[in-house]
Structure 1
């Protein structure tokens, strides 16, 4: 077993995970020429794990999830959408704001719950939106209100964490305004990249469990694309000469890893997930499922011209028949209707993360040689009742919708079952580590709720503790989704500074449903639980289950 070697060089306060700084003097003005500044003494150098602007602002959203049909590439099929749009509405706030999201379940035959992917939920674990972990599912006809602070800034997204519902269309963007590590003129917002199958998500999951992963028929960029050259339409946006544009890239795919590029243009990468990084330039960007990258693209000195914007599925780990069709168009003349004739940059087909030497957090956090806990997790598969299940340390994860972890914590219930795969971390503000091994020739995007983690080592073959050196501990890449290499290992570390029940799982849709997960119960005695909200949601869910004879077929998350 590998043990963690780390104690933080940064002391994090224990109240809401961050100290509040009252507004006083304005030290700088945030604008196109000075994006590193924010306001009131906050800038890109501020330690956002310790200090958060006290804005006093509440941003409120109302989201209604309903059954409908959609034809994002011209081929119509049943869908589940938020407020009738695909992707759903973008949640926009400023760093330090409070966000309130009212969710109504108007679906006919499904529960739901919204997870705010990348939001750390400091001391608000019950707002993480994971049915069977932090709440019971929201029953049809019922509503649920989520409330959390934007203690970080950058690009995130929200999606259903009920079964594989997200990939029927239940997702949207989160945009938290704040400082940046490079200047830009225009924020173009989210660019969602996702695969598309022409089948409902539950049909796809059934196929994955019994016959292997389904093949994506198409892919979408911001919810649109063409199909068979006759249906649908491409995503398009217009560049003005010499303007610097910020694009917020999100891989929202169920099971496709994308390589993003814009022909004849360079990408200046300024953030991975919710972590600002030292900018670097590249022509193409490897983006795993659940990952986000913020890039700046400088428009050329042109009055006209059309260029392909590409999301290329990486065949090393993606089942797809749409390798060259997931494209949008950058136009320099809005009146143009011509397709581009440009060519893609050359690249190596790979599902590996961006090189760690490029992913340097702008805010440096180091670690030393003190530890309290370490865990090895070995990935495997098993077949039960002719269905494939993923396991970690020989356990296929399963929790029950009607008995979420927080309910068990609140009730002081008997010990957790083995299938719940609960790892308890009772001590405060200690560094812990996990090493995940996989013998399979497939890369896996590993996502941890409630934390940014440090990536200490990642590679092919067997892990050895000697791979962790002193240099590995100095400002290691930090994010909330990292790729577990095919037939390889991923070593991560984080600090126990956020009480809660936190899921860690593979972000491939079918793998989560098939049990590729563990849950981390951090500082159980300090978790805040609103019993009224918890109990009323579970009561309504149990009434629905009894009336409709609902059966749970997946892992619960």
Structure 2
């Protein structure tokens, strides 16, 4: 009897699944995380976070379908840590996502932690520390998922990975106290000392004429976006943030913190000269620009090692003169259509405000994310039926509970004059509206009236919207994104400027808590890390495992400033207080020294007592 078409298809799919299982590997990395010395910009040697005694860190390279195991030991001695595998969905393995106090406890010095999950995606990603601002200290590197079935696999001959990063000469622990403090009430972000290309400067990519190269571009910075172009070369964009796109011609990109682009570049047929690869800092992000800060850098496509390596010929005065390709216009290769009207809309506005301690904080809708006393995933797993009640996650984690498979629309308005790259863990989202767009008008509203989203008056949503996991919110502008809540887990949504996250610019989305309880299992070793760190792993946000609705003792954000105070007023108050204290100190010292009696005889001027007289 002949098999039906359905039987044949089922047989084929079973063979394909078996083939994939046979091909899949287990890729294991053993990371001993310690301090090492490095001087990547040649200007200053400093401690950085290394792995196995080395820095730059080792890239992680796997194939789609592989199981990745990273055994990490914290040998730093004085700092907690973790690893976030940026862009990985972690479907069913939410406990491997990495942000401390969200899906795990911070890993204290002397403890080990194993990350173990299957790679179900393809494309360009990166890994970094996600605990108390530690990745600016060098704990960041590429994570590449190779895919020999991609539509562009046969279009290139070789590939390179390029990371771009800002670089500080001070450790985060030395920067943070003065950043979030009364002395910095405007919240001015720390200015980097230099900007690196593959963790160094003045580097060359050897190329051969006529060949096509796949370049994976990753901004692993803590703060600053960069423009990217190659002199006298154009390229085709084929991927953003792990999403294959229809091949799209471009000549310049704006790459914000945490964003990735993969491009195809075909070389010229001549070896007469080498061509500058140019990166230009988005200096608008900087509150001040030191006179010795270099804002543009040249590296090279090296056709001929013996030929000159010319510096870039920049024809712009400021970075706002640059017009990069607008990622809003990219079409995914799979042509996934616009998601249907949302089941839930989340309206958010970004604010930067001075709070009661005189420091500047970031917030969504007046909530500055404040970490709970129990990692939120562990609260889900221990809360029973109350896991669907957002109350148990605290008042200051800004938690939204989502139902399974809801279509979620997030409207984000910017009440700040700076731009912000926002990242959603566990998802790629559709970008359906943004204003203003890249190019000449991107900064139009930075100093004028804001441009909030108007649901009754907006441009037509794209038929096949761009998808990515990190997207830039324009200054005083807005964006609208959609995604399906099809990945049960606790997912962080936050600005990826690490200084802004430290100020509280984040919130939590908890998808299908009941399904999380069914599907997610935490290894015993992860709970042992909590014990070593002295962190509770059962209970609500306040650590109460008896009454989950009792939040007494929860961590709270800093209180509100009394009405009438402004950032300028805070500055004036700080300096007035400082002057007053200095004046009082001088008076006290002078008073303690005593006052000479008028009858006391002045010392006579002699050769032996001239110095004493001068001191008097």
Q: Common fold, TM-score beyond 0.5?
A: yes
Aligned to 1:186: 157
Aligned to 1:140: 109
Deviation, 1:375, is 0.8
Q: Confirm or deny that 1:503 pairs with 2:492.
A: yes
Q: Distance in 2 between matches of 1:411 and 1:283?
A: 52
Q: Note if contact 2:298-2:312 (Cα within 8 Å) is conserved in structure 1.
A: no
The one of 164, 173, 187 aligned to 1:202: 173
The one of 455, 459, 466 aligned to 2:456: 466
Superposition map of 1:76-115 within 5 A: 76-115=45-84
Aligned to 1:547: none
Q: Distance in 1 between matches of 2:296 and 2:54?
A: 23
Residue deviations 1:372-427 (CA, integer Å, cap 9, x gap): 21110111122231221111011000114x521112122218712111111101x2
Structure with more contact order per residue of length (Cα contacts < 8 Å, sep ≥ 6): 1
Residue deviations 1:497-524 (CA, integer Å, cap 9, x gap): 1010000000001000110000101111
Q: How many correspondences in the alignment?
A: 493
Q: Note if contact 1:314-1:350 (Cα within 8 Å) is conserved in structure 2.
A: no
Structure 1: where are the runs of 5+ without partners?
1-19, 27-39, 41-51, 226-233, 545-552
Q: Note if contact 2:100-2:106 (Cα within 8 Å) is conserved in structure 1.
A: yes
> CA 1:369–1:94 in structure 2 vs 1: closer, same or farther (change >3 Å)?
closer
Q: Which has the higher strand share?
A: 1
Q: Confirm or deny that 1:420 pairs with 2:397.
A: yes
Deviates more, 1:346-355 or 1:238-247: 346-355
Superposition map of 1:403-482 within 5 A: 403-412=374-383, 415-425=392-402, 427-460=403-436, 461-467=451-457, 472=461, 474-482=463-471
Q: Note if contact 2:414-2:452 (Cα within 8 Å) is conserved in structure 1.
A: no
Deviates more, 1:478-487 or 1:75-84: 75-84
Q: Which has the higher helix share?
A: 2
Deviation, 1:352, is 9.3
Deviation, 1:85, is 3.5
Residue deviations 1:13-45 (CA, integer Å, cap 9, x gap): xxxxxxx9554499xxxxxxxxxxxxx7xxxxx
Aligned to 1:535: 527
Residue deviations 1:359-379 (CA, integer Å, cap 9, x gap): 110012124544321110111
Q: Distance in 1 between matches of 2:126 and 2:108?
A: 23
> CA 1:418–1:351 in structure 2 vs 1: closer, same or farther (change >3 Å)?
farther
> CA 1:266–1:430 in structure 2 vs 1: closer, same or farther (change >3 Å)?
same
Q: TM-score, normalised by structure 2?
A: 0.75
Q: Note if contact 1:306-1:340 (Cα within 8 Å) is conserved in structure 2.
A: yes
Q: Confirm or deny that 1:170 pairs with 2:139.
A: yes
1:394 is paired with a residue whose SS is coil
> CA 1:399–1:299 in structure 2 vs 1: closer, same or farther (change >3 Å)?
same
Q: Note if contact 1:268-1:297 (Cα within 8 Å) is conserved in structure 2.
A: yes
The one of 222, 225, 244 aligned to 1:254: 222
Residue deviations 1:253-281 (CA, integer Å, cap 9, x gap): 11111001111111211111110001111
> CA 1:68–1:475 in structure 2 vs 1: closer, same or farther (change >3 Å)?
same
Deviates more, 1:208-217 or 1:164-173: 208-217
Deviation, 1:357, is 5.4
Q: Distance in 1 between matches of 2:266 and 2:74?
A: 42
The one of 343, 357, 363 aligned to 2:313: 343
Residue deviations 1:160-179 (CA, integer Å, cap 9, x gap): 00111101000111110114
Q: Note if contact 1:283-1:345 (Cα within 8 Å) is conserved in structure 2.
A: no
> CA 1:159–1:97 in structure 2 vs 1: closer, same or farther (change >3 Å)?
same
Q: Note if contact 1:275-1:361 (Cα within 8 Å) is conserved in structure 2.
A: yes
Deviation, 1:306, is 2.0
The one of 216, 219, 237 aligned to 2:192: 216
> CA 1:79–1:404 in structure 2 vs 1: closer, same or farther (change >3 Å)?
same
1:361 is paired with a residue whose SS is coil
Q: Distance in 2 between matches of 1:88 and 1:409?
A: 34
Aligned to 1:396: 368
Q: Confirm or deny that 1:297 pairs with 2:261.
A: no
Aligned to 2:239: 271
Q: Note if contact 1:351-1:443 (Cα within 8 Å) is conserved in structure 2.
A: no
The one of 20, 36, 41 aligned to 1:73: 41
Aligned to 1:550: none
Deviation, 1:202, is 2.6
Deviation, 1:186, is 3.4
Superposition map of 1:336-375 within 5 A: 336=307, 338-344=308-314, 349=320, 354-356=325-327, 358-367=329-338, 369-375=340-346
The one of 253, 275, 283 aligned to 1:285: 253
Residue deviations 1:150-204 (CA, integer Å, cap 9, x gap): 1110100000001111010001111101144434433433201011121112333
Q: Note if contact 1:263-1:344 (Cα within 8 Å) is conserved in structure 2.
A: no
Q: Note if contact 1:284-1:345 (Cα within 8 Å) is conserved in structure 2.
A: no
Aligned to 2:539: none
Q: Distance in 2 between matches of 1:532 and 1:507?
A: 31
Q: Distance in 2 between matches of 1:301 and 1:165?
A: 44
Deviation, 1:299, is 1.1
Cα RMSD for the two superposed structures: 2.7
The one of 282, 294, 312 aligned to 2:280: 312
Deviation, 1:311, is 1.4
Q: Distance in 2 between matches of 1:355 and 1:421?
A: 31
Q: Note if contact 1:353-1:482 (Cα within 8 Å) is conserved in structure 2.
A: no
Deviates more, 1:499-508 or 1:410-419: 410-419
Residue deviations 1:219-245 (CA, integer Å, cap 9, x gap): 0000002xxxxxxxx222211111111
> CA 1:292–1:554 in structure 2 vs 1: closer, same or farther (change >3 Å)?
farther
Q: Confirm or deny that 1:117 pairs with 2:107.
A: no
Q: Distance in 2 between matches of 1:480 and 1:177?
A: 19
Q: Distance in 1 between matches of 2:465 and 2:137?
A: 36
Q: TM-score, normalised by structure 1?
A: 0.83
Residue deviations 1:208-227 (CA, integer Å, cap 9, x gap): 323221222210000002xx
Q: Note if contact 1:368-1:473 (Cα within 8 Å) is conserved in structure 2.
A: no
